[in-house]
């Protein structure tokens, strides 16, 4: 655990390769170290020269999907009108 809302897990160990998983809130950026340094360098360069980040840096960033939008129940004014009563 890191703090109260970040969990790091070892997912797999195969020989000398270890796969690690990180569960963190969406607002917490999680990058491999080399990607972090590349993003930081590109941000510093862009801030000082006004240049856009390189395509390699952009390709290294992982976009998180937007959270699903919960379905909302129809409001009373949106419900279809009731069927007329059956004729006697």
Domain that holds residue 22: 1-26
Q: Do residue 40 and residue 18 come from a single domain?
A: no
Q: Which long-range contacts (CB under 8 A, 24 or more apart) does 31-36 make?
A: 31/60, 31/61, 31/62, 35/60, 35/61
| Pair 24, 6: CB distance under 8 Å | yes
Predicted TM-score (pTM) of this structure: 0.43
Is 9 within the bounds of a domain?
Answer: yes
- Residue 21 forms part of a structural domain: yes
Number of H helices, E strands in the chain: 2, 2
21 with 38, same domain: the answer is no
Number of domains in the chain: 2
Same domain, 18 and 42: no
Is residue 83 domain-resident?
Answer: no
Note the pLDDT tens digit of each residue in 14-28: 999 999 999 999 998
Q: What is the pLDDT of residues 66-86, one digit of tens each?
A: 566 666 655 555 555 566 666
**Contact, 19 vs 12, CB < 8 A?**
yes
Are residues 22 and 39 both part of a single domain? Answer: no
């Amino acid at each position: 655990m890191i703090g109260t809302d970040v969990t790091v897990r070892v997912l797999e160990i195969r020989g000398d390769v270890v796969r690690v998983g990180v569960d963190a809130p969406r607002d917490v950026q999680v990058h491999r170290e080399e990607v972090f340094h590349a993003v930081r360098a590109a941000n510093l360069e862009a801030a000082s020269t006004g240049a856009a980040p390189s395509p390699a840096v952009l390709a290294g960033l992982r976009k998180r999907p937007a959270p699903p939008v919960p379905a909302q129940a129809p409001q009373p004014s949106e419900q279809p009108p009731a069927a007329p009563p059956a004729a006697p």
